[in-house]
């Protein structure tokens, strides 16, 4: 119970502020309207219950005029119910998508904040497949939460309304216990309560394994989906090294886990369905059987019998909410826990990075145009030291060649970018001069080639003439006629073309500080020399830090750092 209480509190702390957000007036108005429409749904149910009593009484009395009167009333009830149901659905779905939109924006902003999407992959915790947690689990967590709250509120109103009706219809029966007679008020209410409560308690116990089984299946489905996406993203590399069969075996292993999780969920769901199928059949006949003796004895009319049976069913249905919503609750909780797991990992990461010196690398702006390392120590997340005691000053205009362990050098670049806080010491960044990082493969988002090159700036920030000149310098003028074509460029272009496009982007932005991380490793030595010569000629005042082990690069650098 304590664990469940803690879970609900965590979910409310995460998603609850939606009702106090920027558009709170509109959100609260829709929520109030949803409550009113739910109450109107209950009103329709009560009216139908009363209408059925008059209908069966008219049938029992063989009254044709009474029958036509009830048919006329049914048309009015039908029209009202259709309007209320449609309005309720529209408002509920609007509230669901608004809540999902708000929570998606909040979580994705936290995930994409200052490289947290990259850093979180280096810490322990339940945060695998964050894309699936944001895209799918937030959807389930918000949509099912509103649906469950609605059905719970509906069931409570149903319980209050039909308990009153059933109590009045039950009348008073006398229990003859030989020596004493005891009058019993509302006997149908007590029977319905015992009947539904016992069934709900047993059904809840039967359905408990479904929560764990649902969570396991969602995790396995996400892993399988992620494996397919990874293969699609690296399809060329897989094809070139003939890794197709290996990938197929990996897919089979991942899907085997899906099948096992599916079977586990099927067994858990089967136990629930075995119970609910029998319970639904019994619920149809049981209310009539309970009320039938009073009708046979002439104590009530046929209309009262049917009204009592319907009221009994409605009350039992309200009390059976836990059983009826077991599967939906399990799916909602599993998704909510996955979203909370991602949020907790991001919050733990924020706390980890915020720890004061000497536990974290301090990155700050200097008051001059220089990049300085003061007693810098880089370590892995587990504390293993990679670099220690690095003291170095790089002034504006210098060209520094970094050789040796490329992976270690890459972590040094990440530390400069603020993405690798693990270690100690201090890094001073040049004041007012942004760093331009060129990784081995530049990021080219889907869309037009022009937009991909200008990313992350807008296409209007650069002149067409400068763009064409840069393409010709790197010998990619053959792509100029594709500037306004849309494509998946990281798949349609070769790695060499992508690295040349990285230089095009560099020439457009014209930064003063350039960090090249094996940015030309797919080019031959002549191609790399060509790219470095273009950078030197067109950006003569830029400071360059290059990670490469190519001997041809030494001629373009004045200093060398071996890691």
pLDDT value at 499 more than 80: yes
Tell which wins on pLDDT, 50 or 207: 50
Which residues sit opposite 447 in a β-bridge?
A: 487
Q: What is the arithmetic mean of pLDDT over 74-79?
A: 92
Q: What is the arithmetic mean of pLDDT over 378-405?
A: 87
Collapsing DSSP to helix, strand or coil, 234 comes out as coil
Determine how many CB atoms are found less than 10 A away from the CB of residue 236.
13
Total residue length of the chain? 563
Q: What is the pLDDT of residue 181?
A: 66
**175 backbone dihedrals φ, ψ, rounded to 5°:** -90, 120
For the stretch 306-318, pLDDT in tens is 877 777 778 877 8
CB 189 within 8 A of CB 315: yes
pLDDT value at 284 more than 80: no
Closest C-alpha to 15, from 145, 151, 153, 148: 145
CB 541 within 8 A of CB 397: yes
Provide the CA 530 distance to its chain's centre, in angstroms.
Answer: 46
Provide the CA 358 distance to its chain's centre, in angstroms.
Answer: 36
Determine how many CB atoms are found less than 10 A away from the CB of residue 518.
19
Best-predicted range by mean pLDDT (274-278, 432-436, 523-527) = 523-527
**Rounded CA gap, 51 and 562, in Å?**
89
For the stretch 184-224, pLDDT in tens is 676 777 777 787 777 777 777 777 787 778 778 878 888 88
Closest C-alpha to 338, from 137, 145, 142, 116: 137
475 φψ region: left (φ > 0), alpha (ψ -120 to 50), beta (else) = left
**Rounded CA gap, 522 and 544, in Å?**
20
What is the DSSP secondary-structure string of 84-107? HHHHHHHHHHHHHHHHHHHHHHHH
Best-predicted range by mean pLDDT (99-103, 307-311, 335-339, 377-381) = 99-103
Go through the domains of the chain in sequence order and give each one's CATH number: 2-353 (1.20.1560.10), 362-562 (3.40.50.300)
Question: What is the β-pairing status of strands 180-185 and 172-177?
Answer: antiparallel
For residue 557, say if its preceding peptide bond is cis, omega within 30 degrees of 0.
Answer: no
**Rounded CA gap, 518 and 548, in Å?**
5
Tell me the percentage of the chain whose pLDDT exceeds 90.
Answer: 29
CB 556 within 8 A of CB 397: no
For the stretch 112-139, pLDDT in tens is 887 887 777 777 767 777 888 888 889 9
**Rounded CA gap, 512 and 528, in Å?**
20
**387 backbone dihedrals φ, ψ, rounded to 5°:** -130, 140
Q: How far is CA 481 from CA 386, 473, 477, in A?
A: 47, 16, 8
Question: What is the β-pairing status of strands 385-395 and 370-379?
Answer: antiparallel
Q: Which residue has the tokens 């967590």?
A: 141
pLDDT value at 275 more than 80: no
CB 343 within 8 A of CB 110: yes
Contacts 24+ apart (CB under 8 A), 549-552: 549/403, 549/404, 549/406, 550/520, 550/525, 552/525, 552/528
- Looking at residue 183, the DSSP 8-state letter turns out to be E
Q: How far is CA 179 from CA 172, 175, 182, 183, in A?
A: 19, 11, 10, 14
**Rounded CA gap, 552 and 223, in Å?**
43
Closest C-alpha to 222, from 321, 338, 76: 338
Which residues sit opposite 401 in a β-bridge?
A: 546, 560
Q: State the Cα torsion 272-336-116-109 to the nearest 10°.
A: 140
Best-predicted range by mean pLDDT (25-39, 170-184, 240-254) = 25-39
Best-predicted range by mean pLDDT (106-110, 280-284, 292-296) = 106-110
Please, what is the average pLDDT of the chain? 85
Structure tokens belonging to residue 47: 């009216």
Q: What is the pLDDT of residue 1?
A: 46
């Amino acid at each position: 119970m304590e664990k469940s209480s803690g879970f609900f509190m965590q979910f409310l702390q995460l998603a609850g502020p939606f009702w106090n957000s920027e558009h709170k007036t509109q959100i609260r108005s829709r929520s109030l309207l949803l409550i009113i429409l739910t109450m109107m749904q209950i009103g329709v149910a009560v009216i139908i219950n009363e209408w059925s009593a008059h209908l069966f009484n008219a049938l029992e009395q063989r009254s044709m005029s009474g029958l036509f009167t009830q048919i006329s009333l049914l048309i009015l009830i039908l029209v009202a119910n259709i309007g209320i149901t449609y309005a309720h659905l529209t408002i509920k779905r609007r509230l669901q998508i608004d809540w999902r939109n708000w929570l998606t924006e909040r979580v994705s902003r936290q995930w994409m904040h200052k490289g947290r999407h990259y850093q979180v992959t280096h810490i322990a915790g339940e945060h695998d497949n964050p894309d699936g947690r944001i895209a799918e689990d937030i959807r389930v967590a918000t949509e099912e939460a509103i649906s469950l709250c609605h059905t719970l509120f509906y069931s409570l109103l149903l319980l209050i309304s039909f308990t009153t009706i059933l109590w009045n219809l039950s009348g008073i029966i006398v229990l003859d216990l030989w020596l004493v007679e005891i009058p019993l008020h509302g006997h149908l209410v007590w029977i319905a309560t015992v009947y539904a409560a016992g069934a709900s308690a047993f059904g809840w116990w039967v359905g408990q394994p479904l929560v764990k089984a649902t969570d396991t299946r969602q995790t396995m489905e996400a892993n399988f989906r992620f494996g397919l996406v990874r293969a699609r993203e690296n399809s060329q590399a897989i094809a070139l090294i003939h890794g197709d069969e290996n990938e197929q075996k990996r897919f089979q292993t991942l899907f085997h886990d899906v099948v096992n999780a599916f079977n586990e969920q099927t067994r858990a769901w089967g136990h629930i369905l075995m119970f609910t199928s029998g319970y639904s059949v019994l619920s149809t006949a049981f209310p009539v059987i309970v009320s039938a003796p009073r009708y046979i004895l002439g104590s009530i009319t046929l209309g009262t019998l049917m009204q009592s049976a319907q009221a009994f069913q409605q009350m039992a249905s309200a009390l059976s909410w836990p059983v009826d919503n077991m599967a939906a609750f399990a799916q909602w909780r599993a998704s909510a826990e996955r979203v909370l797991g991602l949020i907790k990992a991001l919050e733990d990461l924020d706390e980890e990075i915020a720890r004061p010196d000497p536990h974290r690398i301090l990155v700050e702006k200097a008051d001059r145009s220089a990049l300085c390392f003061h007693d810098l120590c880089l370590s892995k997340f587990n504390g293993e030291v990679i670099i220690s005691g690095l003291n170095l000053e790089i002034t504006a205009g210098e060209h520094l060649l970094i050789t040796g362990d490329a992976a270690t050098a890459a972590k040094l670049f990440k530390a400069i970018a603020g993405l690798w806080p693990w270690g100690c010491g201090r890094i001073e960044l040049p004041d007012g001069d942004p760093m331009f990082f060129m990784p081995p493969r530049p990021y080219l988002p889907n869309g037009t080639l022009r937009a991909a090159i200008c990313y992350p700036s807008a296409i209007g920030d650069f002149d067409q003439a400068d763009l064409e000149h840069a393409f010709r310098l790197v010998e990619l003028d053959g792509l100029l006629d594709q500037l306004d074509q849309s494509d998946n460029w990281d798949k349609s272009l070769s790695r060499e073309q992508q690295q040349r496009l990285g230089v095009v982007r560099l020439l457009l932005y014209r930064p003063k500080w350039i960090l090249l991380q094996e940015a030309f490793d797919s080019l031959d030595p002549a191609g790399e020399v060509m790219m470095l010569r273009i950078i030197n000629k067109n950006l003569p005042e830029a400071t360059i830090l290059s990670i490469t082990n190519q001997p041809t690069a030494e001629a373009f650098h004045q200093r060398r750092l071996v890691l």
